[in-house]
Amino acid sequence: MFETLDMAPPDSILGLSEAFHKDPRPHKINLSVGVFIDDHGRTPILASVKEAERRLLESEHSKGYLPMAGLPEYDRQVRRLLLDGDTDRPAVAVQTPGGTGALRVAADFLQGKFPAARVWCSHPTWANHPNIFASAGLTVQRYDYCDAAHRQLDLDALLKSLEQAAPGDVICLHACCHNPTGIDPDEDQWRQIAELLSRRRLLPLVDFAYQGFGDGLLEDTLGLRELLKTCDELLVCSSFSKNFGLYSERVGALTLVAREPHALASALSHVKTSVRTNYSNPPRHGAAIVATILGDEDLHHVWQRELAGMRDRIHDMRRLFIERMRARGVPHDFSFMLQHRGMFSLSGLTHLQVDELRSQHALYIVGSGRINVAGMTHDNMDRLCDAIAAVFK
Ligand SMILES: Cc1ncc(COP(=O)(O)O)c(C=O)c1O
């Protein structure tokens, strides 16, 4: 049977990473894959994580299975992080393997119980979003997000396309640090989006993969708070890969929010069915680290400082990049990238330029022109700016 198969197309981003690793050129630079890099070019383990792991190593007594919904303490801490003390709202956080696991469990739950619901993704969005929803059997639609030059949110177009959604459809929104554009709605724009979702009886599915990478842990819940005010029910898919640097531990959460406790209990029972048929119960280690850090005041502070350090570093790299490109007199103003939040920006580089950057300069950028700003360092900045300036000549 296997002999009848053609090769599956390579993943657009992970495929690029493989090519990067095989590239023998010593000065290669990778601005494609979505991981945080420090100024030494490494993806570090946070000190708060190391300390939590040390404590866990001493205190763990069993490797027995977790419940389908994961660690109860993790549920409490994740809800605190998302809902910031709004304990009245019926909500439960189900521990999942990464943010991708949360999205897949949500997709299976929706497909199982609301198969007619269509899922609307922003155009553009994280490349895996439509694939996850479609492979669960859901119909995917897209809504407009930003203007043609990808410089800012096109709210009118966004609202107009979402007016086409039918009641009961699901709207996938990026809570902050929109991937790939880096463009987030402001408070008033979130209010208008939330009002439309509530009026049209649409279900928000909020992808929260970068909490704390935008303006701060609480600041980044701006959109979520607007949605909570107007929408009766929500799904939130958190990833702790980036903000805890726990990429390989696969730690995330699917949080269900309802108006009524009985509705929450019913939804949770079906989500558990989806967990059971996917992977039965989640892996412990990553979630235990997160729960240990969030549940300990001192460790929480250490983590918040480390997170602020990552956020500030990305912002500094944005400033430095814009400054150095301006100094090279390139006929493309990159200053709009300073308004962007998170690791990514759609740079405006064309497919042709991206190809030339890879083949001639060993600089790897996603075909859409998405740049991972966190891949820039003081050491590689001049080299990458020279390469980008060269493709504008
Ligand atoms: C927007 C978005 N959602 C979800 C994820 C998935 O995160 P995880 O690696 O935790 O599965 C990512 C990862 O890049 C992402 O960018």
pLDDT in the model for residue 33: 83
**142 is written with which tokens?**
């897209």
- Using the predicted structure, report yes or no on whether residue 291 has a pLDDT greater than 90: yes
Alpha carbon distance 255, 240 (integer Å): 13
pLDDT at 86 over 80: no
Please tell me if the CB atom of residue 243 comes closer than 6 angstroms to any atom of ligand 1: no
What is the CA(8)–ligand 1 centre distance, in A?
21
Confidence of residue 366 (pLDDT cuts 50, 70, 90): very high
Asked if pLDDT for residue 87 goes beyond 80, the answer is: no
Distance of alpha carbon 361 from alpha carbon 104, whole angstroms: 37
Q: Is 96's C-beta closer than 6 angstroms to any atom of ligand 1?
A: no
In the chain, what are the domains? 2-45+299-391 (3.90.1150.10), 65-295 (3.40.640.10)
Asked if the model's pLDDT at residue 389 lies above 90, the reply is yes
> If pLDDT is split at 50, 70 and 90, which confidence band does 393 have?
confident
Active site residue 126: yes
Whose Cα sits closest to atom 2 in ligand 1?
Answer: 209
**What pLDDT does 150 receive?**
62
pLDDT, position 15: 80
Please say if the pLDDT value at position 149 is more than 80.
Answer: no
Q: In this predicted structure, what is the pLDDT of residue 205?
A: 98
- 47-83 per-position pLDDT tens digit: 999 999 999 999 999 999 999 999 999 999 999 999 9
Q: How confident is the model at residue 337 (pLDDT cuts 50, 70, 90)?
A: very high
Least confident of 6-20, 62-76, 165-179, 213-227: 6-20
Is 156 part of the annotated catalytic residue set?
no
Q: What is the pLDDT of residue 17?
A: 86
160 is catalytic: no
Q: What is the 3-state secondary structure (H, E, C) of the chain?
A: CHHHCCCCCCCCCHHHHHHHHHCCCCCCEECCCCCCCCCCCCCCCCHHHHHHHHHHHHHCCCCCCCCCCCCHHHHHHHHHHHHCCCCCCCEEEEEECHHHHHHHHHHHHHHHHCCCCEEEEEECCCCHHHHHHHHCCCEEEEEECECCCCCCECHHHHHHHHCCCCCCCEEEEECCCCCCCCCCCCHHHHHHHHHHHHHCCCEEEEEECCCCCCCCCCHHHHHHHHHHHHCCCEEEEEECCCCCCCHHHCCEEEEEECCCHHHHHHHHHHHHHHHHHHCCCCCCHHHHHHHHHHCCHHHHHHHHHHHHHHHHHHHHHHHHHHHHHHHCCCCCCCHHHHCCCCCEEECCCCHHHHHHHHHHHCEECCCCCEEEHHHCCCCCHHHHHHHHHHHCC
Q: Is the CB of 207 under 6 A from ligand 1?
A: yes
Which pLDDT tens digit goes with each residue over 58-68? 999 999 999 99
Tell me how far the alpha carbon of residue 237 lies from the centroid of ligand 1, in angstroms: 9
Ligand 1 centroid–CA 166 distance in Å is: 27
pLDDT > 80? residue 118 = yes
Residue 12 has pLDDT above 80, yes or no: no
- For range 148-167, the mean pLDDT: 92
- Quote the pLDDT of residue 148: 72
Mean pLDDT of the chain: 95
Average pLDDT over residues 382-390: 96
Catalytic residue among 120, 126, 190, 303: 126
How much of the chain exceeds pLDDT 90, in percent?
Answer: 91
